[in-house]
Amino acid sequence: MRGKERNGRRIAILGVGNPILGDDGAGPRALEIIKGELGGGVRHLGNVYVELKEVCSGNLGLMEELIGFDEAIIIDSISAGPGIEEGEIIELAPEDLGAGGEPLNAHAADFASSYGLYRSILESSMPSKVKIYAIAIRDPEGFCDRLSQKAEAAAHAVASRILRELFNGRAE
């Protein structure tokens, strides 16, 4: 249910990635773990409404999923590289994902530009707080529906961290 017609805070938790591209599915896997612990995709935790969503689209499609929420937690993968070890979990804010795409190309728009655009147009309908958990992965080498051990361990660690935040009331 979209919109802010419900009482209390509305939090979207999004698992982003493609589960048939190996470790790129780390976000959806973490979401699956959280969903199992919460007993479904929608949950009321006191005065907090939590909705879990799997997203397999570009940044503009991702923005559409954020409309109507006060806060968002996004779980996605990021390419491991110099200084970033495979399986490492990096906590980011939208501004940490600076411009790097093509703002006028809907298929290549970067996260920061997309979020900025939607906030400027739909300010009261977009989350005022967005937390991103990025799981460092090897770049996918082909189709595979399993995660590496490092990505699986990281998905469990991120899910545990988010569940602790939700139940300790720290998801802000």
pLDDT, tens digit (0-9, with 9 covering 90-100), for 38-79: 988 888 888 889 999 999 877 777 888 889 999 999 999 988
Give the mean pLDDT of 144-149. 90
What percentage of the chain carries pLDDT values higher than 90? 43
pLDDT at 119: 66
How far is residue 9's CA from residue 73's CA, in Å, rounded to a whole number? 13
What are the structural domains of the chain? 9-167 (3.40.50.1450)
**Which backbone phi and psi does 107 adopt, to 5 degrees?**
-85, -15
Whole-prediction pTM value?
0.84
The answer on pLDDT for 120 being more than 80 is no
Give the mean pLDDT of 119-126. 76
pLDDT at 42: 84
